[in-house]
Amino acid sequence: MSDTPPVCDYEGSDYRTRFWQNQNRDYEDQAERVALRRLMPPAGDTLIEIGAGYGRLADEYAGYQRVVLFDYSRSLLREAQEHLGDDPRFIYVAGNWYNMPFVDGLFETMVQIRTIHHAADVPALFAQLSRIARPGGTYILEFANKKNLKAIARYWARRQKWSPFQPEPVEFVELNFDFHPQWIREQLQAADFAPGQTLTVSHYRFGPLKKAVPTNLLVSLDSMAQLTGNWWQLSPSVFVQSQHSSEGVTAVPHTFFACPTCFTPLDPVPDDLLHCPNSACGLNWQIKDGLYDFKEPVTE
């Protein structure tokens, strides 16, 4: 796994308190929930949120029987555990999204919001998500839009060098990327996802406006504006719903985790370890206090 692209690590981060809690982002939070509810099937068997962090959106998944909260940060997943309590539907998994520790064709629904901007290799990530998606499964992706009105205005005013009209991603800070909507659609299609309904979100992400206008009114206005997403994408945030190809495999019943090194289905031995039965691999992965840890293998 040493050859995988770099990963943005939020281990030990105060992300929840620094970015969300009492940070005047109620509008963004509620607007994103409106978009998610529009695009996500309301119920099902298996759902995974990629980059779930401290579980901000976990209460949106009440209709699912098994919900994986997946993140690279163990500490953020521990916050999610504290927040969500003992609900047995939630499965907390730490790992690298370039080596997803799940069997092929497992998930009916996949959700990824506010995290793909940290992906240095989007095609590699999409390839992994395509592998673990069920045939016909739904993938709801949110991405930071390179071609937004503010970026266009700054470019025309010569206040930024990079063009919002060029298709390639722009890395504006290390491991922080903005993406062109057409480029994202092309990468999805290359990974056997068919992009469908698109929503533009967070049209009114402007500090003075958020202070002057009641949040519920801004959210209502944003909700109406979201529906223009199939025709133009000029907002800072874009949601796209995609369907996985109907061809492919569905996970074998009673299989779930796979070795992130060789993707062999894992056997539990004993209660605190998952063992790879592949003789050429044989790695062990730890389960500790309800957290499945696939970041590094452990010795027995």
Pairing of β 44-50 and β 291-298: unpaired
pTM: 0.96
What is the residue whose two structure tokens read 């045939």?
A: 135
Q: Rounded distance, CA 68 to CA 89, Å?
A: 8
Q: What is the pLDDT of residues 14-39, one digit of tens each?
A: 999 999 988 889 999 999 999 999 99
Closest CA to 287 of 77, 21, 57, 44: 77
Report the distance separating Cα 203 and Cα 236, nearest Å.
7
Looking at residue 270, its pLDDT comes to: 66
One digit per residue, the tens of pLDDT, for the chain of length 300 reads 457 899 999 999 999 999 998 888 999 999 999 999 999 999 999 999 999 999 999 999 999 999 999 999 999 999 999 999 889 999 999 999 999 999 999 999 999 999 999 999 999 999 999 999 999 999 999 999 999 999 999 999 999 999 999 999 999 999 999 999 999 999 999 999 999 999 999 999 999 999 999 999 999 999 999 999 999 999 999 999 999 998 889 999 999 999 999 999 998 776 789 999 999 999 999 999 999 999 999 986
Question: Which domains, and CATH codes, for the chain?
Answer: 15-253 (3.40.50.150)
What residue spans of 72-146 are helical by DSSP H?
A: 74-84, 122-132
Q: Residue 113 has what pLDDT?
A: 98
Length of the chain, in residues: 300
